[in-house]
Amino acid sequence: MFRTAAHAGEILIKACIAKEHPLLIFDQLPKSTKVDNQLLDLKAVVELGRTIQYQELPEKLWATTGYRIHNVELYREFGKLRNWIQHFASPYDRTYLTDRNLEFIFGVIDPLINDFWGLYAVDFHEDDTTEYVFEFLIENKVSFLFPDEYKEDIERLKQNLLQEKK
């Protein structure tokens, strides 16, 4: 779950950059002396190219599109935590990791996909209904974007949760 969110963020940012030009996601391209064909082709790029690293993506995104990642510090901290978990093991419990995952999805990915494609993270979940997702996010005080069509449902859930606490 945790690595998946970080990977999704990385792929989405690269997609935003690639909209400007596909080769901009590469930090290193193959040299002409290493390619058999006259022109640079996809095979050579995939085999010999090197894409921009996770930590460098916010600056490359800004340089190519003018877009600044919302909460870039959260993006960087999440990347450090992802690397820690990937290369060692998690020093944190599942609740802590779930909370950080939600912060990243709704604090970084959600604004990005909304600004570039008009999408909302709440529309991409595995539950049968959005009500459970909204309830979970509201209970955990996670700020999130949502389409106007959900406004009444969210307000009703907020009121219900307030009344339950009384």
∠99-103-105 over CA atoms, to 5°?
A: 115
Q: Are residues 50 and 114 in the same domain?
A: yes
Domain count, the chain: 2
Q: Are residues 105 and 135 in the same domain?
A: no
User: 146: which 2 tokens?
Assistant: 């949502």
The pLDDT score that the predictor gives to residue 1 is 61
Per-residue pLDDT reduced to its tens digit, 61-90: 999 999 999 999 999 999 998 888 877 877
**CB neighbour list of residue 95: distance below 8 Å, 6 or more residues apart:** none
Residues 111 and 118: their CA atoms lie apart, in Å, by 9
Range of the domain at 85: 2-119
The pLDDT score that the predictor gives to residue 61 is 98
Judged by DSSP in three states, 51 sits in strand
Per-residue pLDDT reduced to its tens digit, 116-152: 999 999 988 776 666 678 888 898 888 999 999 999 9
**Averaged pLDDT score across all residues of the chain:** 88
Q: Are residues 20 and 82 in the same domain?
A: yes
